Amino acid sequence: MVNMRYVFGLVALAAVFGVIEAGSGSVNIDIAAGNALVAKKKPEDAIPVIELRGEGKPMTAAQIRALEEASNGGPLDIKVDKTWRPVKCPRAAQRLDFVTFHYKGFLEDGKKFDQTYARGPIRVQLGVGMVMPGLDKGMRGMCDTELRKISVPYRLSRKNKSKVWKHIPNDEHWLTFNIEVLTVEEFTLERQFAFLDSNNDTYLTESELIRFAENMRKEYGKTWANEDIDNVHAARYYVKYFDINGDGKISLDEFVKVMERDMATMETAKLVQTQVQKAGKGKKTAPEGRKRDPGFAWILDFNNDGIVTVEESDSADEVFQGAPAVLPVFDQKDEL
């Protein structure tokens, strides 16, 4: 008796390998050929084939970025290609320096999304929140006329929308900028004062500081970390902090004198902190926060240690409604 299960199996196998003969409305099966095919099967032929199909919703951009960072072993960082660098470099850009530059921006697929050459260069101060973190970091060390290609991952390309940065996409995993630096201006107290003195009248007043803060927000997306800070209260506090002769405005000499006083205090605090750290056998004891901004936000560092902590920032809206704890009082021989 013919084993029908065996026959049906041969039919299926024969249909694949062409050992079926058609004739007169019937199907003739070459049993010998079928047996030969069975005999030639390899061990791996018995391994089942599994078909994989994607199920569920597509991955979100955030999930893709998380996988990319996981495969990287940590947060993604910028990538810098130094396209061209001049032989002579009078000043390599550092934090607080003023840099004027052009850029061409490209999406991850290589498509250009913006360039500044048609509308004019951008001037920013490094390290104070005027530019996205990735570009801020990537332009450190650049010289006049230098060219760089800076690729910025998502986490370092975030910046509040503003007039200067309105063309920057917010949903790209990577953005690439071809940067051409025009000038690097070294940070000085005189240059910082001129940056704040928007109307160039050689004085800083409450109204001028309010306009400066509003301009930073509109042009560069730079705002107070504490959204409850009122610019009017902050400007009034700032003038009290620097106004040595009490005339309601700040001159360059007053600005320099108070800034130099604070910077000396900060240097002393840094030395003390280093000694404490050595005594603790390398244990980190320095306060956590952001480095002090030499602009309008200088007044956030209430204890003059060079670091603006979260606590200082969070309490600033209330502190600014009173008088500064440290007033611009100097010895009689040092008065202007």
Reported as a single tens digit per residue, the pLDDT across 91-101 is: 999 999 999 99
User: CA 158 to CA 151: how far, in whole Å?
Assistant: 13
- Please state, for a pLDDT cut of 70, what percent of the chain lies above it: 78
Report the chain's mean pLDDT, rounded to a whole number.
Answer: 86
| Stronger pLDDT, 88 or 75, i.e. the higher one | 88
| Stronger pLDDT, 76 or 3, i.e. the higher one | 76
Domain boundaries, the chain: 4-41, 75-187, 190-334
Reported as a single tens digit per residue, the pLDDT across 149-206 is: 999 999 999 888 899 999 999 888 999 999 999 999 999 999 999 999 999 999 999 9
Res. 41: pLDDT tops 70: no
> What fold, for 75-187?
Chitinase A; domain 3 (3.10.50)
Which residue has 């002090």 as its token pair? 292
- What DSSP string runs through 70-95? HHHTS----EEEEEE--S--S----T
User: CA 100 to CA 120: how far, in whole Å?
Assistant: 10
Cβ-in-10-Å burial (0-12, 13-18, 19+) of 101 comes to buried
Give me 237's structure tokens: 């506090």
